[in-house]
């Protein structure tokens, strides 16, 4: 089974992304959504990268998605299965798959968000098999 054997370093928190990391601390994946084109997007910024509108809001994501792609890095000190997950809301985000047998991970596999503690900072969103 894979789990973080060493804590990842604490993320640097930009002022525009505070709700993302506060959400992570509370066990919630936060996403930004554009009120003009109604698309969700990553990464957080106070304007929409799709249409340019600055009418945006924070939303709680469902926390579910499917694996878009992944790799297996057996010798990595923290995460053995870096991945990209396609969220139920649409955006694809970089992350890692945990609590899994790397050899059994598949593209298209349903996953749920989880949170990995960091070295003295906000936790990182990761995903585990649903």
Residues that bind another protein (CB under 8 A): 8-9, 11-14, 17, 39-43, 45, 48-50, 68-74, 76-79, 82-84, 87, 90-96, 107, 118, 124, 126
- Nearest distance from residue 54's CB to another protein, in Å? 14
Pick between residue 16 and residue 26 the one whose CB is nearest to another protein.
16
What is the phi/psi pair of residue 25, to 5°? -65, -30
Pick between residue 62 and residue 69 the one whose CB is nearest to another protein.
69
CA distances from 18 to 74, 102, 118, 122 (A): 32, 32, 16, 10
- Nearest distance from residue 130's CB to another protein, in Å? 19
Residues ≥6 apart with Cβ < 8 Å to 113: 29, 61, 63, 64, 65, 125, 126, 127
Pick between residue 7 and residue 112 the one whose CB is nearest to another protein.
7
């Amino acid at each position: 089974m894979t789990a973080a054997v060493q804590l990842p370093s604490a993320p640097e928190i930009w002022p525009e992304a505070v709700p993302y990391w506060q959400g992570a601390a509370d066990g919630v994946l936060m996403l930004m959504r554009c009120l003009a084109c109604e698309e969700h997007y990553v990464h957080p910024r106070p304007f929409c990268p799709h249409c340019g509108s600055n009418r945006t809001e924070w939303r709680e994501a469902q926390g579910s998605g499917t694996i878009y792609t992944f790799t297996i890095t057996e010798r990595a000190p923290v995460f053995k299965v870096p991945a990209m997950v396609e969220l139920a809301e649409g955006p694809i985000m970089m992350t890692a798959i945990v609590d899994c047998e790397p050899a059994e991970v598949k593209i298209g596999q349903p996953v749920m968000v989880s949170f990995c503690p960091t070295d003295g900072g906000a936790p990182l969103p990761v995903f585990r098999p649903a």
